[in-house]
Amino acid sequence: MRLDNILFRLGMAPTIPGARQLVNHRHILVNGRIVDIPSYRCKPRDTIAARDEQKSRALIQNSLDSSLLRNCQTI
């Protein structure tokens, strides 16, 4: 599966174009290496992480927080 699609489905990016931007701006690591190709084909055992920089982690954390809020139901 493509890296940009995986990032979107994991909730690390709000949209697929947003996921493509994260990859193009070098915020994403696959198996500990920076990948800047959104169409990179991931394998089942690949590890995907954000770079260990405050800006990279903040972008992804904001997306994860907002995706959690979208999935919450109020009673």
Contact 18, 38 (CB under 8 A): no
Calculate the alpha carbon distances from 19 to 9, 27, 74 in Å: 10, 10, 28
Strands (E) located in 1-75: 28-30, 33-34, 48-50
pLDDT tens track of the chain, all 75 residues? 999 999 999 999 999 999 999 999 999 999 999 999 999 999 999 999 999 999 888 989 998 888 776 666 555
Structural domains counted in the chain: 1
Structural domain span for residue 26: 3-71
CATH of the domain at 18: 3.10.290.10
Q: Beta strand pairing status for 48-50 and 33-34?
A: unpaired
Q: Structure pTM?
A: 0.84
